Structure 1
């Protein structure tokens, strides 16, 4: 057993609640996939474990790293969630500007297909959006993870396994995706309510974070000062994590460093930027992509060149993280089959920016079955 495997070796104690959710997810998708046991490994949580970087394997047919972006259930009236999921064009454009190639993941796809694609790409992005992460099935019951959340957690667990085996695999999360990342580690609802709808605010950064943060390490002092003094990152959330919740939850603070806090419209402080201690997982509660690629009236705010440099720094940083992954598609033709370029964005129905739409897998199967039935009856 190699050094990385020993560091992440799990004990026999299991997190029964999470395992139950994974079994339920497996049954609902009709698949026979073995899931790794999730342990309460106290020795792991008490140590900051560094993962050795894996040398980037030069690829003869891929010029740039490829990342996967997970779709989320549709919240648009014209495209009901029973039939569609989507990805905002702003996320695609934001990460493409650094040279990253993008493969969309349809969250309703089979776990087997999702896992196969996760074995090909060099990183994962979990976006923002309006999907529910946790819901009560009945009044008075504790909230449980939604089906969408279970799929997202499944992908996070796959990424954790890869890193544990020495295969460097980064994740970037924004807003909803950031909340899901924390919830996946806490394995319960721990979010607080915040008044931060349609909100621009500053970053509160500690001196320690300025010295040690991987995200901030390549930013000049003047750009970090810009983060602290200028309100240009856009927030649009009602849930989040307070400073107290972060500091008092060992499942969170022993796995993540808080790089920055922000304040909502009532002055209440919440976690704004994080990066993993154990895994190369990163997240922001704000929307860095909107500064450049969402030109709706609510986000149509002029920005300075310094702000633009900071905004562009994030996908460039994630690009360098993805370079450390040694995964690849089998051929250029296979890679092309899955790229976002095979899809056309939609700009209609009162949308303030474009979306990539994806039909739910069950919807596609129903249409195939209907067409086959019509053919047989002719």
Structure 2
């Protein structure tokens, strides 16, 4: 039996309780309990992205990653630009209350790190490029992906959203990019409904989605699909991605193959959809049969509204208005590519070859 600390005399507590409280074994046990609780708290803090509650940015700026110019565009534009962004992505971001900065491909890591310190999120768009081209869309995306993880780990909230090709890139990067790409052949060029998973409401993306939006997405064929590859549940299982990513919905391709339609990371504010929310309101090629009903527009509008709201949680800013202005998409003029038969109504083109 150890001696009691001062102040615990018989005139303060009953003798039996005093003996129990002063027992050395009890004190050691109590100290161990404190250490355990502290360790558990630190483990939780280590696994969670820290978010400052006081950060509400009502002037968010989102970077959209450009990608290699396709062979089709090479035949139409003699300037031989190195990269482009479909204007529908820009319009979609702007319609949700944010501005856009184009992110160039073919730059070193310092370029992406510096730019990401001044913007509030990144959108990986869909498209038709490959992931094995040096200094292209995938290489830039890989830099951005890892820098974004580092920012979030350091407590600087930084969301990333991938659409179609951009969503596939997110999953391939999470798998560990290699010669064998973790995606499958999948043919879907139609409008689909979403088959939500039973726990989809646990996700940040759908937790607060209005019931009418969920009803439209699950009952009507309003998501525009245009892809020859997709992510299956087996792709997620092959690389143990279900430990880190939450699958929230599936759709089916023309052959009845069920593919992952939407996901989000469990730790980082990273989100992906296989379909194209931006096409419903802003792409009009008649042969594509994109859904343009009021319900379709309303339901698809939700996704970029959600992402921009996530980006409002980022406190990054350009150091001056003049530098901000130099980076904005307004410095570029969109071309009417629909006039030339493109599936995109308009595109922004960047950097004729030889200028970088």
TM-score, normalised with respect to structure 1? 0.75
Give the Cα separation in 2 of the matches to 1:228 and 1:126.
25
Query: Mean Cα displacement is larger for which, 348-357 or 72-81?
Result: 72-81
Measured against aligned partners, the alpha-carbon deviations of 1:154-192 in whole angstroms (never above 9, x if no partner) come to 111000000010101000110111111011111131111
Query: Mean Cα displacement is larger for which, 50-59 or 164-173?
Result: 50-59
The answer for the alignment partner of 2:16 in structure 1 is none
The answer for the alignment partner of 1:26 in structure 2 is none
The answer for the alignment partner of 1:195 in structure 2 is 187
Matched residue SS, 2:276: coil
The answer for the alignment partner of 2:274 in structure 1 is 285
Q: Structure 1: state its 5+ residue gaps.
A: 10-43, 136-144, 366-378
How far residue 229 of structure 1 moved from its aligned partner, in angstroms, is 1.5
Matched residue SS, 2:247: strand
How far residue 364 of structure 1 moved from its aligned partner, in angstroms, is 0.5
Match of 1:249 among 233, 239, 243: 239
Measured against aligned partners, the alpha-carbon deviations of 1:332-362 in whole angstroms (never above 9, x if no partner) come to 11111100011000114433411000015x6
How far residue 225 of structure 1 moved from its aligned partner, in angstroms, is 2.1
8 A contact 2:105–2:136 mirrored in 1:
no
How far residue 200 of structure 1 moved from its aligned partner, in angstroms, is 1.1
How far residue 219 of structure 1 moved from its aligned partner, in angstroms, is 2.1
TM-score, normalised with respect to structure 2? 0.80
Give the Cα separation in 2 of the matches to 1:246 and 1:81.
41
How far residue 265 of structure 1 moved from its aligned partner, in angstroms, is 0.2
Give the Cα separation in 2 of the matches to 1:248 and 1:109.
32
Query: Mean Cα displacement is larger for which, 223-232 or 266-275?
Result: 223-232
How far residue 300 of structure 1 moved from its aligned partner, in angstroms, is 4.4
**When the two structures are aligned, how many residues end up with a matched partner?**
307
How far residue 147 of structure 1 moved from its aligned partner, in angstroms, is 4.2
Q: Tell me whether 1:69 sits opposite 2:64 in the alignment.
A: yes
Alpha-carbon distance change, 221 to 207 in structure 1, aligned in 2, over 3 angstroms: farther
How far residue 285 of structure 1 moved from its aligned partner, in angstroms, is 0.6
Q: Structure 2: state its 5+ residue gaps.
A: 1-38
Give the Cα separation in 2 of the matches to 1:284 and 1:7.
31
8 A contact 1:234–1:299 mirrored in 2:
no
| Higher Rg | 2
Give the Cα separation in 2 of the matches to 1:269 and 1:79.
38
Matched residue SS, 1:207: coil
Matched residue SS, 2:355: helix
The answer for the alignment partner of 2:249 in structure 1 is 260
The answer for the alignment partner of 1:109 in structure 2 is 107
The two structures, once aligned, show a CA RMSD in angstroms of 2.4
Measured against aligned partners, the alpha-carbon deviations of 1:270-289 in whole angstroms (never above 9, x if no partner) come to 11101110110001010110
Q: Tell me whether 1:229 sits opposite 2:224 in the alignment.
A: no
Q: Tell me whether 1:273 sits opposite 2:294 in the alignment.
A: no
How far residue 81 of structure 1 moved from its aligned partner, in angstroms, is 11
The answer for the alignment partner of 1:216 in structure 2 is 206
Query: Mean Cα displacement is larger for which, 172-181 or 237-246?
Result: 237-246
Match of 2:124 among 123, 126, 130: 126
Query: Mean Cα displacement is larger for which, 80-89 or 155-164?
Result: 80-89
Q: Tell me whether 1:335 sits opposite 2:324 in the alignment.
A: yes
